[in-house]
Amino acid sequence: MKKFTAILSTALLGIVATTATASERPDVYVVQFRADDCATCGVMESQLDNAMNMVRSSKVELVTVDTSNPLKWEVSAHTAFDRNITPQFNKWVGLTGFVAVIDRQSRRTIGCVSDKQDAYKMANLIKSAAGLPHDRAVSNRLIQFKCPAAHNIDPGK
């Protein structure tokens, strides 16, 4: 009977843990494309760190796509697959120095930022995308958060 109770309680804990993690999934992925040899990545990463400190929400997850070496590239590919953002990974992998803000539910890219935007504008875009309170006085016109052209193009198309 003790074995049965232990198995049952383990199963129930597993179900509760799975349900808890599913409900705690973020609404928005902030995907940083970087590499060690990227000239503008240092400035962009510093501004992004400040922006993420301003956001501080479980509705937002920072994901890093690092193409510094083959191992980091492979880890990044698995991370993108696990979060179901492979279209953006495939489109921009190898291109560095920018951040894409992606809606988890629709998998749509909302906008991109680079070292040209300050931390406050980055944070405002991220908050707006996640449905968090943001500064409405700051323009979030998507034209200023335009993403780079595709880095990888399918030759069959």
Domains and CATH numbers, the chain: 25-145 (3.40.30.10)
What's the pTM? 0.79
Q: How confident is the model at residue 23 (pLDDT cuts 50, 70, 90)?
A: low
How far is CA 115 from its chain centroid?
17
Q: Which tokens sit at 15?
A: 């179900």
């931390």: which residue's tokens? 119
The mean pLDDT value of the chain amounts to: 83
- For residue 65, the cross-strand partners are 33
Q: Is 47 helix (H, G, I), strand (E, B) or coil?
A: helix
Task: Say if residue 119 is exposed, middle or buried (CB neighbours under 10 Å; 0-12, 13-18, 19+).
Answer: middle
How far is CA 29 from its chain centroid?
3
pLDDT of residue 155: 58
Q: Which of 2-6, 31-35, 122-126, 134-138 has the lowest mean pLDDT?
A: 2-6
